[in-house]
Amino acid sequence: MEGGNPEASIQLLKQKYDLHKAPEVDSAARRSEARTGERVPQNPLDRIQNYLNRFHEITDRENPQQRERAMEAVKRLLHSKYIIKPDEITEGYWENQRRIIRERGQEADLQHVNWEELKRQNIEAIVADQKSSMDKWIDYLSSSDALYPDALKYWTLRSVLSMGEYDKEKKAYPQRSIGTTKPFPDLNREALAYVIDIVDKKYTAKGAKRANEDTDPELEKLLQGENFAKLYAFAIEKVIPADKQGLVDTTGRWVKYDQGSDHMPLVTSLQGHGTGWCTAGESTAQAQLKGGDFYVYYSNDRDAKPTVPRVAIRMEGGSIAEVRGIAPEQNLDPYMAPIVEQKLDEFPDGKAYQKKVADMKHLTEIDHKMQKGMLLEASELVFLYEVDSLIQGFGYSRDPRIEELRNQRNPEEDMSIMFGCEPSQIAHNLGELRHDTKAYVGPLLPGIFDRLQSHNIEHVYTSFPEGKIRRQQVEIGGKTKEQLQNELKQAGVNITSIAQGMMENPKFTTLPDAQVLDTVKVKVGDLGLSGKPTAAEIYRKAQALGLELCPAEVGPHMRLQTKDQPLGDYYWIGMRQITDSYGTQGVFGLERRIGGLWLCDGWAEPDPKWEPDHGFVFSLRKFKTQKPQTLSSLLKNLIKR
């Protein structure tokens, strides 16, 4: 979805970059003509728009796996072009690292340092930071939250890729140099909305007059140059973060902005408060109010007036689209959970957000206990380490307090408390398994699941806490495929058209009698495979570990029986592939999006590669125990001999 005036903003790309003459635009035109049989007009604006439409083909794909793979391809292309290469890191950087070590008083240690290994570790960290900071911009600009014209998204990303780290003294972003080890600029959604807003106005007839009314001479000068880096730096300084000391007092009130109403009162109330919300931009606020009502909770300022925005609830029609706070990455600040919890009771779908509220309250309680030096109970550690479920917040990414609190803990000591055992009862390799072992934290090796079953070990991790191997019992069989489809429909499960076709394929069968199947969910990276393996490689390794392929009906049955899947989570069923209606070999997938629970499909042909963090569900091969021989059976064996 776009906000602002898309056609007008394309003028920016034409004037600033002569983009209509670029080779990539010509290539996009040829692809379109080959696909549609119709010639792309020679008009520069039409040619640029045709080029920008390619990105909609990627971001608007219904199949999540196809979209993800296409986005990964875009990222790989940008990474290869803009992420630093090891040979581009200058010797001056490494000399600076040596100087830092000397200044720390560790000069003697330099003689014993494996410098090549230290270099390798530094390079990995530099590359990872650059990729992560770049990907935040790509992910946001390709999301449904970025309600901006495609042309201004392009302008933004192209500009960010050439910007260095923010210079707080000069209040500027320098030009990014080849060989820089710095990450890309931080994403501030409110500052970005401000920049796109004023530029969009400049290129719209109705906005031209409003832009000219701005009396800030510095802004007028920046607008003439259309330099994103300078405008973004100006906006960063304009966005004032909320006073943390003033957040303790939550006294205030909710204000409702009706769907279709004037967006300017909402915009005015947010600007200058450092919320980080893109709604502070006029075009975004206008687009969001077209979609539904908007609620903001304002706490009292120093004059006891409710003017400080703390929480936003955006509606899409009659449903909650998102809930945002003012903490980092738009999570709730530590004091607002009770107020949000009470407000959510007013909405029909408010219960869907109650786990997030409960998680934020629980995390705040743990934070307060640790600040006071109090001991945490086993249940609190299980929560903090996300053993049973992920901690859900309201922001774009994980609440940073999770890692901050974990970094203050001793994982080995915490594991003993959680598992109710001594440290010696936690095995880290197969050689440490004993009759009294309670947990295993180590690599998955051939036959390991047989060994773990023989020792009746419940807690299994490849690494703690991220590498938990999750077991789940799933009841399958006893229902026809028609009954399964009807139950999925009655449960309100969303089914992709391809997954529906897979269920109608003759190769999709169900067992006549009900039975319980033990399943294990593992990530591709847990299997010990390097790179991005194929489905065939994943299947072979899983079977070597003691796992088996699931019957195809596990996908629909598990979808019906798994209602608490976290938002944004998805995984695939390790099963024999079924050819879909497009002739592609696929497997079932389970996902939860904003719109609810989904039964999806995923390509599992020989060529496509799978990422290390992709999850697969397999069946646990039953371990056959040796029954002790009775006296009569021993005698029979002796007689046979």
User: How far is residue 238's CA from residue 272's CA, in Å, rounded to a whole number?
Assistant: 6
Start-end of CATH 3.10.100 domains in the chain? 471-620
Q: Report the percentage of the chain scoring pLDDT > 70.
A: 89
Mean pLDDT of 216-231: 84
User: Could you tell me if 222 and 214 are in contact, meaning their C-beta atoms sit under 8 angstroms apart?
Assistant: no
User: How far is residue 204's CA from residue 180's CA, in Å, rounded to a whole number?
Assistant: 37
**333-382: per-residue pLDDT in tens?**
989 999 999 999 999 988 878 888 999 999 999 999 999 999 999 999 99
Task: Take residue 404 and report the two structure tokens written for it.
Answer: 């901050």
Q: Give the HSE-up count for residue 46: Cα atoms under 13 Å, Cβ half-sphere.
A: 7
In whole numbers, what is the pLDDT of the chain averaged over residues?
85
Task: Take residue 418 and report the two structure tokens written for it.
Answer: 């959680």
User: Is 0.85 surpassed by the pTM of this model?
Assistant: no
User: How far is residue 600's CA from residue 556's CA, in Å, rounded to a whole number?
Assistant: 10
Residue (of 328, 312, 468, 313) closest to 397 by Cα position:
328
User: Could you tell me if 378 and 420 are in contact, meaning their C-beta atoms sit under 8 angstroms apart?
Assistant: yes
Q: Which residue has the tokens 């009771």?
A: 345
Look at phi and psi of residue 435 and say left if phi exceeds 0, alpha if psi is from -120 to 50, else beta: alpha
The neighbouring-strand residues paired with 440 are: 427, 460
pLDDT greater than 50 at residue 633: no
Fill in the DSSP letter of residue 31: H
530 contacts: CB under 8 Å, gap ≥ 6:
none
Q: Give the HSE-up count for residue 626: Cα atoms under 13 Å, Cβ half-sphere.
A: 2
**572-625: per-residue pLDDT in tens?**
999 999 987 667 788 999 998 767 899 988 776 666 578 888 899 999 987 654
Mean pLDDT lowest among 170-179, 216-225, 497-506, 554-563: 216-225
Chosen CATH of 471-620 out of 3.40.50, 3.30.160, 3.10.100, 2.60.40? 3.10.100
**316-336: per-residue pLDDT in tens?**
888 898 899 998 888 899 899
Task: Take residue 568 and report the two structure tokens written for it.
Answer: 């944004």
Helix locations, 203-281, DSSP H: 205-212, 217-225, 228-238, 264-270
Q: Give the HSE-up count for residue 152: Cα atoms under 13 Å, Cβ half-sphere.
A: 28
323 contacts: CB under 8 Å, gap ≥ 6:
311, 312, 313, 314, 340, 344, 353, 356, 394
Tell me how many degrees the CA angle 256-261-262 measures, rounded to the nearest 5: 105
